Amino acid sequence: MARVWSSLWAPFRRFGTATKRAITSLPWSSGGPTSSAYSEQRALSLIPVFASVRILASSVASLPVQLYRRNGLNREPVSYIPQLLFKPAVVDDLYQWLQKCVISLALRGNAYGLVTQRDDLGFPTMVEWLNPDDVWVDELYPTRPVYYWQGREVPTADIIHIPWIVLPGKVVGLSPMAYFASTIGHGLKATEYGLSWFDNGGTPPATMKNSQKTITPQESEEISNRLSASMRSRKPLVFGSDWDFTALQVSPEESQFVETMRLNASQIAAIYGVPPTKVGGDSGGSMTYANVEQEGIDFVTFTLRPWLVLLEGRLSALMPGREFVKFNVDALLRTSLLDRYNAHGLALAQGWRSRDEIRGLEELPPLPDGQGQTYGPPPAAAPPPSQEA
């Protein structure tokens, strides 16, 4: 057991020794936020950002993953599950592993993985996702990038780099936290304004003033203190001796607070391609879906598909030979029991799915003796024997 753990953590120990460098050499880290960017922790405190990242990460990670093998123009499902698609990291299962990858992509535009274990043929069986703050990429020669983790060079073969959106001539993907810092900052400031509004009472609900008396500096300071106390306690402010009562009402809608929050949520939803209504934004029209299934199809087509294609390509490159990875999006397109069974019947009758394939979709075991491997409708039953003498 000790030998297994020793081989597993060998890549980490290889970069664990201290390194001395000149102060003008490569930076110790360069994956972190710039001075104009917000940290992912603060950005995630903004509800539209958290909701967008949660929707993407949870939706992708919850999809079943299937391994296929190319055979000419055909693809055949592979019965075994490689370790990378079952237990890809020491602590994480596949769901957590995919979730971390998508979160890193959505917040920082890049996911960096360190290969910690390989099989006998050299293909990765375990990959640990790294904190982007600890990774720096030398892009001087884009076709031969050099990766540094915690200030130490890492062999390119040991790094799995998945960028989201990359400019021509670059290797590192664009960071949403850096490029949209202004949009995220507006949302955070609007949230802070809302908290301040309710904490401090916004404005006093009423004032009492006196127009007959001249206020001294000392009295002015006292009134100012009482004004602040009234704003926090939401009580009327009373001062002077000749009273004139004036009620004050200023709603958040009148200050454009709600509209500002809704616009900011719609902008953040546009960055990630998620439906604005799912993160507190405005749909921008009266479009409605005929049913839940059509809404799911739209979500898979326009929101998830680009992310799935990106991950499928990168994961397939880690598989041996002609094997490749596909996500099963049917898991998101839930239909009624009758509609699903009717679709199975059509697939079986038209001969493009076998009984065992359909039973697999319903999480049922194959039929015995190879009975479920045939295609097309079942053969017609033989007529009963005649009863005539």
Task: State mean pLDDT over 225-236.
Answer: 70
Task: State mean pLDDT over 29-43.
Answer: 57
* pLDDT at residue 197 is higher than 90: no
Q: What is the pLDDT of residue 188?
A: 79
State pLDDT tens for residues 330-369. Answer: 767 666 666 777 788 888 888 778 887 778 777 677 888 7
Average pLDDT over all residues of the chain = 78
Per residue, the 3-state secondary structure of the chain, as one string, reads CHHHHHHHCHHHHHCCCCCCCCCCCCCCCCCCCCCCCCCHHHHHCCHHHHHHHHHHHHHHHCCCEEEEEEECCEEEECCCCCHHHCCCCCCCCHHHHHHHHHHHHHHHCEEEEEEEEECCCCCEEEEEEECHHHEEEECCCCCCCEEEECCEEECHHHEEEEECCCCCCCCCCCCHHHHCHHHHHHHHHHHHHHHHHHHHCCCCCEEEECCCCCCCHHHHHHHHHHHHHHHHHCCCEECCCCCEEEECCCCCCCCCHHHHHHHHHHHHHHHHCCCHHHCCCCCCCCCCCCCHHHHHHHHHHHHHHHHHHHHHHHHHCCCCCCEEEEECHHHCCCCCHHHHHHHHHHHHHCCCCEHHHHHHHCCCCCCHHHHHHCECCCCCCCCCCCCCC
Task: State mean pLDDT over 245-271.
Answer: 72
Q: What is the pLDDT of residue 28?
A: 43
* pLDDT at residue 256 is higher than 50: yes
Q: What is the pLDDT of residue 26?
A: 44
* pLDDT at residue 139 is higher than 90: yes
Q: What is the pLDDT of residue 18?
A: 41
* pLDDT at residue 174 is higher than 60: yes
> Can you give the pTM of this predicted structure?
0.70
Q: What is the pLDDT of residue 38?
A: 62
